Chains A and B, each alone.
Chain A
Amino acid sequence: MREFAQLLIAGLSTGAIYASLALALVLIYQSTEVVNFAQGEMAMFSTFIAWELIDKGMPFWAAFALTLALAFFGGVTIERVIIRPVEKASVLTIVIVTVGLLLIFNNLAGGIWGFQLKTFPSPFPSGTWQVSGVVISQQSVGVFGVALLVMALLAVFFRFTALGLAMRATAMNREPAELMGIHTTWMLALGWGLAAVVGATAGVLVAPIVFLDPNMMQGLLLFAFAGATLGGFESPGGAVLGGLLVGVAQAMIGNYVSFIGTDLSLTVAMAIIVLVLVFKPTGLFGQAAARRV
Chain B
Amino acid sequence: MGGIWQRAHVPSLAWLGVALLLIIFPPWLAGGYRIFQFTFVVIYLIAILGLNIVTGYNGQFSLGHGAFFAVGAYVTGALMFHAGAPYWATIPLAGLTAGVVGFLFAIPALRLSGLYLALATLALAISVPQILKKWESVTGGVQGLVLTKPHSPIGALTSDQWLFYFTAVVALALYIAAWVVLRSSVGRAFVAIRDNEVAAEAAGIPIARFKTLAFGMSAFYAGVAGSLSAFVVAYVAPDSFDFLLSLNLVVGMVVGGTGTIVGPALGAVFIEFLPSYSQDVSRAAPGVVEGVVLVLFMYLMPTGVAGFVATAGRKALSLVRRRTADHAAAGPVTPTLADQEPRAGPGEGG
Contact = CB atoms under 8 A, between A and B. Distances in A.
Interface of A: 35, 37, 82, 85-86, 89-93, 95-97, 99-108, 110-111, 115, 218-219, 222, 225-226, 229, 263-267, 269-270, 273-274, 277-278, 281, 293
Contacts of B346: 89-90, 92-93, 96
Contacts of A277: 108, 111-112, 116, 119-120
Interface residues of B, number: 51
A270 B124 CA distance: 6
Contacts of B143: none
A281 B116 contact: yes
Given A225-B123, A263-B130, A111 B350 contact: no
A95 B294 contact: no
Interface stretch (B24-32, B79-87, B277-285): B277-285
Contact of A92 (B108, B114, B127): B114
Given A91-B350, A277-B120, A219 B247 contact: no
Interface stretch (B7-15, B295-303, B316-324): B295-303
B294 A111 contact: no
B116 A111 contact: no
A115 B247 CA distance: 19
Contact of A115 (B283, B285, B286, B348): B283
B298 A267 contact: no
Interface string B227-249: 00000000000000001000100
Given A229-B119, A270-B124, A108 B288 contact: yes
Contact of B291 (A90, A100, A265): A100
B76 interface: no
28 contacts: A82-B295, A89-B346, A90-B114, A90-B349, A91-B61, A91-B350, A92-B349, A93-B350, A95-B61, A96-B250, A96-B298, A99-B247, A99-B294, A100-B294, A100-B298, A103-B290, A107-B284, A107-B285, A225-B123, A229-B116, A265-B130, A266-B127, A266-B130, A267-B127, A267-B131, A270-B124, A270-B126, A273-B119
Given A37-B122, A225-B119, A274 B291 contact: no
A92 B134 contact: no
B287 interface: yes
A263 B142 CA distance: 12
Contact of A93 (B116, B127, B298): B298
A104 B295 CA distance: 10
Contacts of A82: 295
A278 B111 contact: yes
A226 B134 CA distance: 21
B269 interface: no
Contacts of A101: 291, 295
**When A and B form their complex, which 6 residue pairs have the shortest distance between CB atoms, in order from nearest?**
A107-B287, A100-B294, A111-B284, A103-B291, A104-B291, A91-B350
Interface of B: 55, 59, 61, 63, 108, 111-112, 114-116, 118-120, 122-124, 126-127, 130-131, 133-134, 198, 243, 247, 250-251, 254, 258, 282-288, 290-295, 297-299, 302, 346-350
A269 B119 CA distance: 12
B350 A92 contact: yes
Contacts of A86: 298-299
A229 to B, nearest CB: 7
Contacts of B293: 100
A105 to B, nearest CB: 8
Contact of B288 (A107, A225, A270): A107
A115 B285 CA distance: 13
Given A100-B298, A106-B287, A91 B114 contact: yes
Contact of B131 (A219, A226, A264): A264
Contacts of B133: 263
Given A107-B291, A277-B120, A222 B127 contact: yes
A277 B106 CA distance: 13
B287 A99 contact: no
Given A219-B126, A266-B126, A277-B116, A110 B134 contact: no
- In this complex, which of A219, A222, A270, A273 has the most chain B Cβ atoms within 10 angstroms of its Cβ? A270
A226 B119 CA distance: 9
Given A102-B247, A264-B130, A264-B134, A111 B348 contact: no
A160 to B, nearest CB: 31
Contacts of B127: 222, 264, 266-267, 269-270
Contacts of B108: 274, 277-278
A176 B273 CA distance: 50
Given A104-B292, A273-B123, A96 B284 contact: no
A99 B115 CA distance: 12
B278 to A, nearest CB: 10
Contacts of B112: 277, 281
Nearest to A38: B291
A139 to B, nearest CB: 26
A44 to B, nearest CB: 13
Contacts of A91: 61, 114-115, 118, 349-350
Contacts of A281: 111-112, 116
